[in-house]
Structure 1
Amino acid sequence: MGYKRDVKYNVRRLLYANSGNICAMYGCSNSLVYANTASINEICHIEAVNEKGARYNSDLTDNYVNSYENLMLLCPTCHSIIDNKKNEGFYTVAYLKQMKQFHEQQVQEALMKKVAIEPPIYLEGYDVSGIVASYNDLYEKEVNEKYVYKILNIILSMNVAIRSVVYGIVILCSEDRTEQVDVHRLHQMVNVDLYAYAGIMMLLEQQKIIEETSYTDPLSGYETEDGDWHLVQNDYLFKTTQGTWYLKKRGRLFLVIYDMLRNRRDFYDFVVNRNLQMLRKIE
């Protein structure tokens, strides 16, 4: 028979406030409401309202089914993926609640940054011509000083957790003398849970520091135990644990800087602690 669908106004308001106007699906950055007031958001029930829905639980109440704890905001595409019965074995109740929590945590951290921002960095006073020369000697694609300033500003302006992952990526690639990122060893190095780690990998891929190369086709995925096909294009938790990752052009720049600094301590001080004086060592 199912439950009554009745999401209260205060619950809707809280969902919108905590969503950051972004779909809560891992890896999806679709806006939910646009400047012209057009809206593409859909309220997804984690445990379904009706018996035919995904993750239906007959032991709930009408109040819980329509409560904030059981709802999340998604774009239509991600909503259809999550509520497809064929994907129910992957998008479990526990998985979706973790995903919602991680998304809302990201939103809160972003809002906090607007209030408590790290001091700006001024790279223009440092000579990066040595970095430019070393990079251009090693790689066919040439860079200039303006490019180096731009990339360093992007990464050094990110939070310390992201900078720590960049540090780990470079250390592992340098040690193994490869541009392939060992994501499992990397996760062991960084002090974040798997969901946060997947989110950081997503951000670094968006910033073209690294890229995942196994699941680039929109139809990429895997066959479930039931014989269904699970698409993984926006599933960064899966891609982080199962994918193949490589450094991109911007990531190689940090590999060059590490080689020029010659030791972990100085590179850590530069990337994680944002100590720009380390650049003096390679001028």
Structure 2
Amino acid sequence: MTCLRDAASPNSHTKLKLFADSAGYCQNPDCNVNLFLTVGQTEFHIAEMAHIISAGQGGPRTNQSTSEQEKGDFSNLILLCPTCHTKIDKAEQEYPEIIIKEWKKHHSEKINSVFNIKQFKNRTTARQAIVPILNENKAVFDIYGPLTDYRYNPESEIPKLWLSKIQQIILPNNRKLLRVLDNNYTLISDIEAKTVEIFRQHVLDLEAKHINQEEIEVLKFPSQLHLIFEN
């Protein structure tokens, strides 16, 4: 990721929030390329954090009245592929601040629409929305996860595929789940709310490890989440 400069640099929380908001896709609505790639046995992302108002004094869309802290704030950042990042900076007259901020707003709304993120009338319909996502994550974990017998086979490709599945399926699905849960928090019981918050920390830990490359122990996924919204 680029555009890291002193006080204008986003902190770890802001980075993760940006990845979550993008759902792993370039936030230019005319692009939307997948930012997580697998080439052969190598998994990586091509995401670049771009400042909407330049971090430097003479950069694209510079604004002398914007503080260094404001430049590093979530509201002044957008996640793009390398090509789109280069385009908005090299042709800044064609990409003013208002257009790039509209990209970001439009992308967030599109993600909610694509993922069918909305407020449901009851727990039954809310559960119908999250069960397929939970089931997909569980299937991926059961087939590729660290508890399979393949972990003992040094020639197996499964452990490498697991890392790829985390980035391409698990991380985006986790954010879908959180979006549904947060948009329907009024339907969640007090006991379920505790499970949701444990899950939220699990998501943040997993993203910190696989996006920010932090050496941390990830909080275990709360199995009770599979029962949420059950009547």
TM-score normalised by the chain length of structure 1: 0.37
Bigger relative contact order (CA 8 A; separation at least 6) = 2
The structure richer in helix per residue is 2
TM-score normalised by the chain length of structure 2: 0.45
**Which is higher, the Rg of structure 1 or of structure 2?**
1
